[in-house]
Structure 1
């Protein structure tokens, strides 16, 4: 169909059957009505609630990254230190996150390949290896926070009987749960995540009801922008923990779990419409859950002496001391919600790890083998961390700060390749983003990177003491900025790297 190739390049190689793919054809969800309007490749089928239901799933898996223990810690600290005043920023940060995730989904649906695979083909070997290492570091940092969050929850729910390191080992076993569930199909796995999100929603809504936050202040916090010098660090944290580098890679792969004929423009547009709806609904749910957590701690601890000392480790006990037992002790409600957040995010981390490693390295391993390899990448350092840092609450808080910095550093290495790729007609065909959306997307990406840059400068200005450490930081910063400049410059020569100068092995179907 030559008239489609110029609009919708398939990027298929002659050895395509041998290449790593996000999902095998027999694993994908079949969308009903795919036989309809086959004669018209351009017409988008009419809206169907049944089809929306079948497309629902990837967005909710993606939304887990907005609800992981690192985000919950940012929420509770924002509420305790800034009160209701940063709720408007939480809303807009979630909206920015939604834009990035919709672009990731657009890339995956329009090309039939995910971000890591496209980066492998687009960048020279040295650059894609750097991008892979950065993506793996971001994933490891996120996974350590998620696994330790689960371990803290298990410690709470066992009244301290289970030490942190034992909780880490138990959480590591969720890899086998993931492998077990994956054998039963994508929809079964998505149903498990729906249950975990529901547990979080019920747990934190219960806490919200128990603490009875001020409705007027809550509404004003959402609608009226307010920022002070005292809350600037919490504001940076709210924005910084919303965009997760590994999640950008993940969503572009998750959308390929549906059987979509991406040679037909109407089918691609249909999929994008449904994914936009379900991703928006998923992030509305995540925003409400984050809102519950923030307002609970704003109500309980804003303006108190305890506000500056609250973290994941002691948050449950502080809530218990403040609000007591009730029908069901609030300590255990918090522990259940935290456990659901930790477990769901560690499993999606395993999922993301498979796509990142398989995509960048074109690994043709069995899925259980890839899952074990990618899981061990994160679990081994996490166990070491748990043994070293399970001595005091303050040491875990210091660790969390360093992990936040680690993930902040990686954000440009997911956002810049994504924006460059979705802007290019040679990659996206007629589904490339237009000039207005491109401008908005680059502004959002720039804001996120500037905000995270502020966090890095603030962090290292307090930590970089001594000539040697300062010199290392300066050298690293120079190399870091140079690589970002290189990535941005690639937007100007992508055209010649795609179909203009094909490799001998490239063939378009």
Structure 2
């Protein structure tokens, strides 16, 4: 054998060794990423008959966890601010809308979980494969991360406000932001000890919120009759349209749609065993329904507390997250335990839990969309930095102005609203595709219901955007930029809908001539 041949053979062996090392590293990465909490035994064999074992309380307990982590997005500081403003300005009249908005959110989250369980992959990964080039920018790239940063800023500032309250103002807003940033390391510490430990911490935080706001609910003694009427009788006045839009708009969080499809994979489910998949979907449906029922009750407590205390008063239009605690203290006084601190404890639990889930969502978005292979601590640090650095700047700039923080919050809500179609449309497209979902694709009736809900949410958020820009846009140049951006935005939504195959054939033919899809 010639020296050249030996040299070529040596190079081939070295290349193969490096390839095996890369493959081993990627396998190890995936093993760390896919957290297998419990091995849920399903029916033996291939189980192509869709036979599902009888209901088991023990198995329901083993599946309990992802839905409660998902429900945190319904309880973040942004939602609490929407609740208190709805109560203060609209009284009890929007409680029915809160109930139906939660039900719509539950439907979307169940579809997200369905995608994750049936495919064994989360929505970010599926979007990366489904949408190429331009589609990846909106559905798989910049927009999800921007929306996550916007949500995270709200959550971190909410925690910082709570820390300021509980420290009697000793710690300024920026210091609370820095303290909140430490949840990144808490998250890493807890995850190293298993997801069940992490889920237990979230259960404690949710229980803290429930106890805090239930205590306040009991102290303020709202009208039971008005509360029941508000839930059962739909009412909507011309002066409460903005609050109504806010109630619905706060429920669907774009990053939460991506997150839930990843959280459900923490249980070992074989997508090839159809009975096992169906069993998991059944248990996740029960668990998510219970979790969002609890979140609805907590939101209801907050809304009714402020409806009882401030509806019809001069302070109603000036209450925000920054001054809500002091208003409560002035209204209801000290008592056995000052209501200001009860509010601060509940707000801190909401802010801390939502920032940790934001970190979690950010990791899945980065890993799924960008296909990154980074160490866990490095990805978490990058994810947190995206939110913490802008938030510290915001806290320093707006540290003395409550009005400025309210304006900032409106802009962040706009950012969330813009992103919503880029989460909902891909989800509804993928969950109805047989080549993606197999036998677990949703049927025509559920498709129509889901698309109706999505259209309603998108239109409502579109109204929020229109109302905001009409009141805020000043100057010809800025108006031109907004109009141009709006036209491009609507065209891209039409593009996504055309790709989804959800429209009737006649509509597709008409729209395809105006908006060719290549």
Q: TM (normalized to structure 2)?
A: 0.90
Matching residue of 2:134: 126
Aligned match for 1:390, one of 386, 399, 421 = 399
Matching residue of 1:229: 238
Question: Which deviates the most, 192-201 or 480-489?
Answer: 480-489
Q: Cα deviations across residues 112-163 of structure 1 (Å, max 9, x unaligned)?
A: 0000000111111332133221101110110000000000000000010100
Q: How many residues align?
A: 479
Counting only pairs closer than 5 Å after superposition, residues 81-120 of structure 1 correspond to structure 2 as 81-120=89-128
Aligned match for 1:319, one of 322, 328, 339 = 328
Structure 1 residues 22, 144: closer, same or farther in 2, change over 3 A? farther
Q: Say yes or no: does 1:437 pair with 2:446.
A: yes
The structural deviation recorded for 1:26 is 7.0
Question: Which deviates the most, 20-29 or 272-281?
Answer: 20-29
- The DSSP-based 3-state class of the residue aligned with 2:322 is helix
Matching residue of 2:39: 31
Q: Say yes or no: does 1:183 pair with 2:192.
A: yes
The structural deviation recorded for 1:230 is 0.3
> Does the CA-based 8 Å contact 2:213-2:301 persist in structure 1?
yes
Matching residue of 2:389: 380
Q: Say yes or no: does 1:271 pair with 2:287.
A: no
Q: Say yes or no: does 1:300 pair with 2:343.
A: no
Q: Cα deviations across residues 191-210 of structure 1 (Å, max 9, x unaligned)?
A: 00000000000000000000
Write the distance in 1 (CA, Å) between the matches of 2:24 and 2:470. Answer: 49
Q: Say yes or no: does 1:463 pair with 2:472.
A: yes
> Does the CA-based 8 Å contact 2:138-2:422 persist in structure 1?
no
> Does the CA-based 8 Å contact 1:80-1:298 persist in structure 2?
yes
> Does the CA-based 8 Å contact 2:249-2:417 persist in structure 1?
yes
Matching residue of 2:511: none
Write the distance in 2 (CA, Å) between the matches of 1:370 and 1:33. Answer: 33
Write the distance in 2 (CA, Å) between the matches of 1:276 and 1:370. Answer: 31
> Does the CA-based 8 Å contact 2:92-2:226 persist in structure 1?
yes
- The DSSP-based 3-state class of the residue aligned with 2:272 is coil
Matching residue of 1:144: 153
Please give the root-mean-square deviation of Cα atoms over the aligned residues, in Å: 1.7
Q: Cα deviations across residues 333-372 of structure 1 (Å, max 9, x unaligned)?
A: 0000000000000000000000001100001111111111
Write the distance in 1 (CA, Å) between the matches of 2:143 and 2:28. Answer: 20
Aligned match for 2:207, one of 186, 198, 205 = 198
- The DSSP-based 3-state class of the residue aligned with 1:27 is coil
Structure with greater Cα Rg:
2
Q: Say yes or no: does 1:489 pair with 2:498.
A: yes
The structural deviation recorded for 1:478 is 1.1
Q: Say yes or no: does 1:49 pair with 2:57.
A: yes
- Report 1 or 2 for greater relative contact order, CA contacts < 8 Å, sequence distance ≥ 6: 1
Structure 2: give runs of 5+ residues left out of the alignment: 1-22, 503-518
Aligned match for 1:240, one of 229, 244, 249 = 249
